[in-house]
Amino acid sequence: MKDENIGKTEASSLNSVSAQSAFASLASPLVDAAIEHAGTISTDASAETLHKLRVALRRLRSLWWAYRPLLKKDENTRQQALYRYLATSAGKTRDWDILIQLLTRFSGKASLPPGALDAARADALATSRETIANADAKHILRETLSSATTELNTARGRVPLKKFAGKRLGQAEKTLRKRMNRAAKAKRSDYAAFHNVRKAGKKVRYLLELFAPVYRERAGKTVKRLKKVQKRFGKLNDVVASEALLRDSADQLGADLNPDTALRALEKERKHRMRAAVKLL
């Protein structure tokens, strides 16, 4: 599999090219990774495989967001929606993986028969596989790459990659700062404010990693800090999403099952992880 970031050997050449001509070098490894992981799901349904697919698709969304000023608005919006759709399809199965892991860890699974949880996970996986297969991920990902590359290469005018990357990174960082300030002042019950920090942090991190050859001096320490934010806020999101999944799936798990014990354990852990997230801010 190709590296999902730009190789160091490309750094000197990318420093001297335009944002338009660099696009294919940035996007192709991400598309290759997404196609590989999407194909692997048919035979390997592990949590790690699903996670890798979602990360590749998130990186693609971040790259397309960065290039939004240079691409046709409607087409760019459609392509970002496609990546979100595929990531959501894979995410439904991973949500069950996270819930099962949490309940096992907190000994709450005893109140819910493992068979019911495993069956629900299997149903979600079948849907994920069918959705990704029907979407013809390989063809459509190649098509979006080709379409965007052609549009950029035939556009009038050129923007130096370093200037372009710096401007888009600055925009993403500005959004992150705003969301961090908002979350720092938010009530503990306002989970959306914390979730927005997580999403904004991911975007900045992915862009720094993608543009590392032209902004290598900025990338290292900043990415390390962002990973810490992403990890802590991700743990909070795991619990919040698991609570919602368990409540929403009561009928699917069986009317005679009582999830109260598991929900209490998740609620306790959510409060603990919320305090940790607030402390980091």
Phi-psi region at 254: left, alpha or beta (left = phi > 0; alpha = psi -120 to 50):
left
Evaluate whether residue 35 is within a structural domain: yes
Q: Please name which of 203, 168, 212 lies closest in space to residue 70, comparing C-alpha atoms.
A: 168
Q: Does the pLDDT value for residue 149 go beyond 50?
A: yes
At 19-54, the pLDDT tens digits run 999 999 999 999 999 999 988 888 887 878 888 999
Evaluate whether residue 131 is within a structural domain: yes
**Phi and psi at residue 110, in whole multiples of 5°?**
-65, -25
Token pair 């009530």 in the structure block, residue: 187
| Domains of the chain: total | 1
Cβ neighbours around 185 below 10 Å, total = 9
Evaluate whether residue 51 is within a structural domain: yes
Q: Does the pLDDT value for residue 2 go beyond 50?
A: no
pLDDT at 4: 41
Evaluate whether residue 43 is within a structural domain: yes
Residue 142 belongs to what domain range?
A: 8-280
CA distance linking residue 170 with residue 269, whole number of Å: 35
Evaluate whether residue 76 is within a structural domain: yes
Packing angle between helix 161-185 and helix 47-66, nearest 10 degrees?
110
CA distance linking residue 25 with residue 65, whole number of Å: 16
CA distance linking residue 157 with residue 155, whole number of Å: 6
Evaluate whether residue 195 is within a structural domain: yes
CATH classification at residue 153: 1.40.20.10
- What SS3 state is found at 266? helix
Evaluate whether residue 16 is within a structural domain: yes
Mean model confidence pLDDT for the chain: 85
Which of 4-8, 40-44, 142-146, 180-184 shows the lowest per-residue confidence on average (mean pLDDT)? 4-8
For residue 17, give the DSSP letter: S
CA distance linking residue 103 with residue 245, whole number of Å: 12
Evaluate whether residue 1 is within a structural domain: no
**Angstrom distances, CA of residue 264 to CA of 199, 232, 252, 269:** 27, 21, 20, 9
pTM over 0.75: yes
Which of 47-51, 109-113, 186-190 shows the lowest per-residue confidence on average (mean pLDDT)? 109-113
Q: Does the pLDDT value for residue 218 go beyond 70?
A: no
Q: Does the pLDDT value for residue 106 go beyond 90?
A: no
- What SS3 state is found at 43? coil
Mean pLDDT of all residues in 60-87? 91
Better-predicted residue by pLDDT, 107 or 235: 235
